[in-house]
């Protein structure tokens, strides 16, 4: 007897949630938060429009003021921010959806103009990234960071724990810890950015310590069934390098398996770019080390998603850019209908244009 292979449109049990399909909306920063970095009513409308996804993951949201690296990104650390997000999660749930919050600290990918008191951004080591951030409505070089003191690291872990509690208070179904794309937790992981000589630098075990402490704290706070993790083992995003990503991520995933987060979300290749930047990297070796849900992302269309699900190489597939331009992406994929084109000029900042005004199938443009 042959077993039917999984399809994108099959339901999936994720922790205590039943997802109606395997299609996930990837986290997408849109720089439209209201003053105070609060998610607005327009943001609630945007996510509710996309609620037919099996799971929505919110745009990255800073866990503390120092964790912000781009203008007008929402936070999850003040009462106003929690209230703003509560209106979003209510709207998504009313529309029949499910949503996780992506929790980030940008580390060195920031600018003094966004930091409390105009201070330097923080990082594992005082090494400036050769990249830009988005401040004052333009792309600007990131600032020189300062190295975090050893005595400050428990405060970072505590901020993630508090953010997890706030996430649940805001009505989210769970939290995705952002350890991808060259932000703080990724900076600690990689020997290109982490030159520390204490217990958080040097060996792979030491570089993975902060991430594992954060995951343990967040899981302790809200329960493993409500905690996911995002990684991007081979992306060059935000000028981050590592001498041996395979050994590093084999170790990270193996250790995470013991903590049992509900999913690991893996960006395959260069984020938003080629999938084959590191052809020798063995993603299957990571998957073999994790017994929970495996979510993949980067450059997927329906054919590629069908292929990886059929091959058992993923349980869930996240789509980023297609969800910006297609609020009804699930229906379009189901019907093999054409997709709306992405308007690159309205990705970061602005209002409803390019945010909540993309047409659904059968509606006028
Ligand atoms: C406008 C934009 C904003 C993004 N913001 C985030 C973010 O907040 N957090 C994150 O982990 N990835 C972010 N990404 C990366 C996407 O989640 C995704 O990994 C990438 O777009 C590749 O998937 P795709 O080919 O389906 O678009 C962003 C990408 C874009 C285009």
> Which stretch of DSSP H or E encloses residue 8?
none
Counting from 1 in the atom list of ligand 1, the atom nearest the Cα of 230 is 11
Counting from 1 in the atom list of ligand 1, the atom nearest the Cα of 26 is 17
Does the residue 360 lie in any domain? no
Query: Around Cβ 241, how many Cβ atoms within 10 Å?
Result: 11
Residue pair 101/28 in contact by the 8 Å Cβ criterion: no
pLDDT of residue 4: 62
What is the CATH classification number for the domain harbouring 61?
Answer: 3.20.20.70
Task: Show the beta-strand stretches assigned E in the chain.
Answer: 12-14, 17-19, 23-25, 55-62, 99-104, 122-123, 132-135, 138-141, 146-147, 174-178, 227-231, 263-267, 293-297, 316-319
Our mutation pick for probing the ligand 1 site, out of 8, 26, 47, 332, counting the most ligand atoms within 8 A of Cβ, is 26
Query: Which one, of 248, 247, 135, lies nearest residue 185 by Cα?
Result: 248
Range list of H helices, the chain: 41-49, 79-94, 153-169, 184-189, 204-207, 209-222, 245-259, 283-288, 302-310, 321-325, 329-335
Does the residue 249 lie in any domain? yes
- CB of 95 shorter than 6 A to ligand 1: no
Distance 61 CA to ligand 1 centre (A): 13
Does the residue 5 lie in any domain? no
Does the residue 359 lie in any domain? no
Distance 27 CA to ligand 1 centre (A): 6
- CB of 226 shorter than 6 A to ligand 1: no
Which residue range is the domain that position 182 belongs to?
A: 12-346
Residues 6+ apart with CB under 8 A from 233: 245, 246, 248, 249, 266, 267, 278, 281, 283, 286
Q: Closest Cα to atom 18, ligand 1: which residue?
A: 320
Distance 2 CA to ligand 1 centre (A): 37
Does the residue 355 lie in any domain? no
Q: Closest Cα to atom 14, ligand 1: which residue?
A: 28
Q: Which residue has the tokens 């690991």?
A: 264
pLDDT of residue 364: 52
How far is it, in rounded angstroms, from Cα 336 to Cα 43?
Answer: 28
Does the residue 358 lie in any domain? no
Distance 219 CA to ligand 1 centre (A): 24
- CB of 62 shorter than 6 A to ligand 1: no
CA distances to 53, 286, 355 from 96, in Å? 10, 33, 20
> Which stretch of DSSP H or E encloses residue 75?
none
Distance 229 CA to ligand 1 centre (A): 15
- 110-143 in b/e form (b: 16+ CB < 10 A) is bbeebbeeeebbbbbbebebebebbbeeeeeebb
Q: Closest Cα to atom 16, ligand 1: which residue?
A: 320
Number of domains in the chain: 1
Q: Closest Cα to atom 11, ligand 1: which residue?
A: 27
Q: Closest Cα to atom 24, ligand 1: which residue?
A: 320
The token pair that represents 325 in the structure block: 């331009």
The token pair that represents 196 in the structure block: 């520390």
- CB of 59 shorter than 6 A to ligand 1: yes
pTM of the model: 0.98
Does the residue 353 lie in any domain? no
Average pLDDT along the chain, 365 residues, taken 10 residues at a time: 74 98 98 98 98 98 98 98 98 99 98 98 98 93 98 98 99 99 98 98 98 99 98 97 98 98 98 97 97 98 96 97 98 97 97 98 71
- Residues taking part in catalysis: 183
The token pair that represents 171 in the structure block: 């009505």
- CB of 26 shorter than 6 A to ligand 1: yes
Our mutation pick for probing the ligand 1 site, out of 275, 320, 333, 347, counting the most ligand atoms within 8 A of Cβ, is 320
Does the residue 7 lie in any domain? no
Residue pair 230/174 in contact by the 8 Å Cβ criterion: no
pLDDT of residue 3: 55
């Amino acid at each position: 007897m042959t077993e039917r292979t999984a399809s994108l449109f099959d339901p999936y049990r994720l922790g205590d949630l039943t997802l109606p399909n395997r299609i996930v909306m990837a986290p997408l920063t849109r720089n439209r938060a209201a003053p105070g970095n609060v998610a607005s009513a327009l943001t609630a409308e945007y996510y509710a429009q996309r609620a037919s996804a099996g799971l929505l993951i919110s745009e990255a949201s800073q866990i503390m003021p120092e964790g912000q690296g781009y203008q007008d990104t929402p936070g999850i650390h003040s009462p106003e921010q929690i209230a703003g997000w509560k209106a979003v999660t209510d709207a998504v749930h009313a529309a029949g959806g499910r949503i996780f919050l992506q929790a980030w600290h940008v580390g060195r990918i920031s600018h003094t103009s966004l930091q409390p008191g105009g201070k330097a951004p923080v990082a594992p080591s005082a090494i400036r990234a050769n990249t830009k951030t988005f401040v004052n409505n333009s792309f600007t070089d990131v600032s020189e960071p300062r190295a975090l003191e050893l005595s400050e690291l428990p405060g970072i872990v505590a901020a993630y724990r508090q953010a997890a509690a706030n996430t649940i208070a805001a009505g989210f179904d769970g939290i995705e810890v952002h350890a991808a794309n060259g932000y703080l937790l990724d900076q600690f992981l990689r020997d290109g950015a982490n030159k520390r000589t204490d217990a958080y630098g040097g060996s792979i075990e030491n570089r993975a310590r902060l991430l594992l402490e954060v995951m343990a704290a967040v899981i302790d706070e809200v329960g493993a069934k409500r905690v996911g993790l995002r990684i991007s083992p081979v992306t060059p995003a935000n000028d981050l390098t590592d001498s041996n990503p395979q050994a590093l991520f084999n170790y990270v995933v193996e250790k995470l398996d013991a903590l049992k987060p509900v999913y690991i979300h893996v960006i395959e290749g260069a984020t938003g770019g080629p999938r084959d930047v590191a052809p020798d990297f063995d993603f299957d070796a990571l998957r073999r080390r994790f017994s929970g849900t495996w979510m993949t992302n980067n450059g997927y269309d329906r054919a590629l998603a069908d292929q990886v699900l059929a091959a058992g190489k993923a349980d869930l597939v996240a789509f980023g850019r297609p969800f910006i331009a297609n609020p009804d992406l699930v229906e379009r994929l189901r019907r093999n209908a054409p997709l709306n084109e992405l308007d690159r000029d309205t990705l970061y900042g602005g209002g409803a244009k390019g945010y909540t005004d993309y047409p659904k199938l059968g509606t006028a443009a």
